[in-house]
Chains A and B, each alone.
Chain A
Amino acid sequence: MTEAEVLQWIKDMPVGATVRQSRWLFGLGETFHFFGLCLMVGGLLIVDLRLLGYIRRIPMRAALAFLPWVIFGFLINLATGIEFFMTDPFMYWPNPAFKLKMFMVLMGGVNALVFTVMEHRHVLVMGNDERTSTFTKVTAGLSLGVWFCVILLGRLLPTFEGSTSFF
């Protein structure tokens, strides 16, 4: 199948067709996408700022307890994001803001995976006054930076509708 055929196949699936025919389903998805955004930002600020040492008097375990909200927010946004894509795949696929946003989401995922595999266990048992390693701080800083870019690129998606490059 060619790229266009794959996109057309996705577009013809019942999800996209249903959303396109509805007056409010797309807007409802956008609203939930914002709810998910807020959950992710709120949870990430607590987790990453603690890892960076900004609220060091908080026990590490207590700060990391907010991670499930980040994951919950991400799942909401993954689901609604797929809804958007299936509604209009030909708009999203060539859109440079979409491509870069997806790359950033992937980077955010890899970064989170690195933290989970390599650091999560070690920082959990840290004492309150113990300083996190530079490596941990880099992952925390990258996390805030990457997801910040994801928000910006998402908001810029409509601006680049119909373009194939940023310039």
Chain B
Amino acid sequence: MELLASLELTDFSTWLRESDWGYPVVLCVHAVGMGMVVGITWMYCARVLGFAKEFPLWGFDRLFGLAWFGFAINAVSGVLLFIGEPRRLAVTPAFWIKMVLIVFAGLSLWALEKALHGEPDHGALAAGALGGAGGAIVADASAAVVVTRGAKVAAIASIVFWLAAITAGRIIGYTMPPPPL
């Protein structure tokens, strides 16, 4: 807590907290990053759960590049928001709950990837055999990715963890203790 107090006394922390534009601008950036990360993840999960089946799963590869960019934006803006109010955030349970929920959201996305691509892709092999010399289907291997039950559970978990993380984030604003700690 002393460390956080000294962080709070730095010029940068004071500026973030007290200037007209510091916090509002960082909050703006944080909202845009949220839309990119959660939005793309949700669309991907919807696809895994059977929405827009004609959209190939590999189509999300480049979109996840953007989602990671959004995640980087929010890691940085999140750290800045913490630097601005370290002591008040550290004693707000919703803040720590949000951090844990984001870890879980990430883990379920990792589990989803593993469920889809982790094992030898029997679907693609079968498609390759069917496609024979033409190989047109093999080139589009992920079209043959089998969406397992496990993958669907992981997709639902990811959706729910992000819903919960956003909710916890909102609750932070409502449950933070007042400034003079």
Contact = CB atoms under 8 A, between A and B. Distances in A.
Interface of A: 24, 27, 30-31, 34-35, 37-46, 49, 54-55, 57-59, 61-63, 65-66, 69, 148, 151-152, 154-156, 158-159
Interface residues of B, number: 34
B93 interface: no
B141 to A, nearest CB: 14
Q: Which 3 A-B pairs have the closest CB atoms?
A: A42-B39, A41-B35, A41-B39
Contact of B39 (A40, A57, A59, A65): A40
Given A27-B170, A30-B170, A55 B59 contact: yes
Nearest to B35: A41
A151 B62 contact: no
Contacts of A154: 31
Given A40-B39, A55-B63, A65 B34 contact: no
A66 B47 CA distance: 9
17 contacts: A24-B174, A27-B170, A34-B31, A35-B166, A37-B31, A38-B35, A39-B39, A40-B35, A42-B39, A42-B40, A46-B63, A55-B63, A62-B55, A62-B56, A65-B54, A69-B46, A158-B24
Given A27-B171, A27-B174, A42 B32 contact: no
B163 interface: yes
Contact of B55 (A63, A69, A152): A63
B34 to A, nearest CB: 7
B32 to A, nearest CB: 6
A84 to B, nearest CB: 13
Interface in B46-71: 46, 51-52, 54-56, 59, 62-63, 66
Given A46-B43, A154-B31, 8 more contacts: A30-B170, A38-B38, A58-B55, A61-B54, A62-B55, A62-B56, A63-B55, A69-B42
B75 interface: no
Contacts of A65: 51-52, 54-55
Contacts of A42: 35, 38-43
Contacts of A37: 31, 34-35, 39
Nearest to A54: B62
B36 interface: yes
Which one of B27, B59, B162 has the highest number of Cβ atoms from chain A below 10 Å of its Cβ? B59
A128 to B, nearest CB: 11
Nearest to A38: B38
Which one of A24, A40, A69 has the highest number of Cβ atoms from chain B below 10 Å of its Cβ? A69
Contacts of A62: 52, 54-56, 59
A31 B167 contact: yes
A93 to B, nearest CB: 21
Which one of B24, B35, B41 has the highest number of Cβ atoms from chain A below 10 Å of its Cβ? B35
